[in-house]
Structure 1
Amino acid sequence: MKFAIIGGTGLIGSQVVQNLNAAGHEAVPHSLSTGVDIITGHGLDTALAGADVVVNLTNSPTFDDASIPFFQTSMDNLLAAARQADVGHFVILSIVGVDQVPALDYYRAKTLQEDILKAGPIPYSIVRATQFMEFIDAVLSWTADDDTVRLPRTPIQPVAAANVAATVADVAAGPPLGGILDLGGPDTYPLDELGRITLAAKDDKRSVTTDDTAGMFAAVPGDVLTAKSGARIAPTRYADWLK
């Protein structure tokens, strides 16, 4: 099969391309760097020509309310081009529990992306993943100073990007789900504990202060960002990934 991987040069996309090609498919990466602009639509018709499957792994450049028109415009353009190209399967990557955090603009934007796909003309699959292990350092930086990192106790179930990419490739190569597959890591931690584990592994002498008002994840209610019964559980443990 031929796959058009939109956002195919990024962290997840590049690995999805590699996995699909290794399995004997033809997966072609597309991004701004290859001349494809999902906001203006430039290059989309050429990128999707002959594709059996489109995998959209692009992301908004910001996490604020500008992410909402980004996903609206990009999905409208991609779905129109996919329909024109007679694509048979459209896949996106989203976030476990994304529709249960309306206080965050970015999560509302990702929910909108899902809703546009569900209402669109192309058979679809949605892969929802928990928080990437590769992004934990960034999460700590949001509420850090020279001595202290302030973190809430929000339950987090970190998953390795390589496991996410493998799952996206697997779903993309199969029949459309017409629904959502959740993917989570094998272990769940309160975010403040995860911060302490991360700093200790890096021999970082800063301390972690538990603060349930600190950072973006303070807006998350309960354990909605953790995978529930029926989810696929990835094999890579955070402690092993840190090593």
Structure 2
Amino acid sequence: MLKVTGVVAVGALAIGAGVLSQAGTAKTSRIADGQGGLLISPLRVDRQAVTGATDRITIANRSPEALTIEVKARPWSVSSSGDVAPNRRSTLGGVRVSEGAFTLAPNQTREVDVALAGAPAGGSLYGALEVVGLPTDLEQRKGVVTGYRLVGALRYHAATKRYALSASSPKVSKDQLLLPVRSTGNTNAAVRATVEVKGATGTRRGSARAAILPGKRVSLNVLSAKTLRAGRYTVKATLRQGTLRTTVTKTLRVKR
């Protein structure tokens, strides 16, 4: 692990590149070739899940100072709204990184192999490759110290996709109708949900689309609930993913 003094604050980053500062707030930004900073190429691994599959990642230090580098494969942490971020308390089982820690001088590069060590239990595996670069003399510095955090996607797809979705009872939160949907298949293929909400005042329709990781549940924002009066409603939800189409009917009670 990288040893740092003080607190390094890390917020949610988009898949790509991010800049973090000690005792600061994480900011998202993409660092292009020639702009300096810390670079990784390619930004993602996207392939069929085959035991031993290996991808070579090039890490380049284009900053003016030496950096201590840490490379980790992380599982995704998924919020109820579907936002994803690397789980920094854990490593992604089944993925091996040839070099997890090293130092890069200015303008120096290093090639790191990322390999799928074994067949994933469900046939697929999804996670993040996190690369953090901090100045080698971080412990001797005072004040705000800028470092780099790059996050790329690791996508190992099943040879045969299995689509399986289930929906829980909808709920109203902050004037939005949310439909909790869980993926129990083995693919991150996009999920589309359409709903019909029937009550005493008529029928309302809505929809939402999202990618849901296998084994995860996301509350899809399918409809504005601002105009739903207090009462009992019937919600008919149709879920689609790949070749799958399934319809469920749920009861919704709105309190005002």
TM over 0.5: no
When you count strand as a share of all residues, which structure comes out higher? 2
Mark the structure with the bigger radius of gyration.
2
TM-score (norm 1): 0.28
Relative contact order, higher structure (CA 8 A, sep 6+): 1
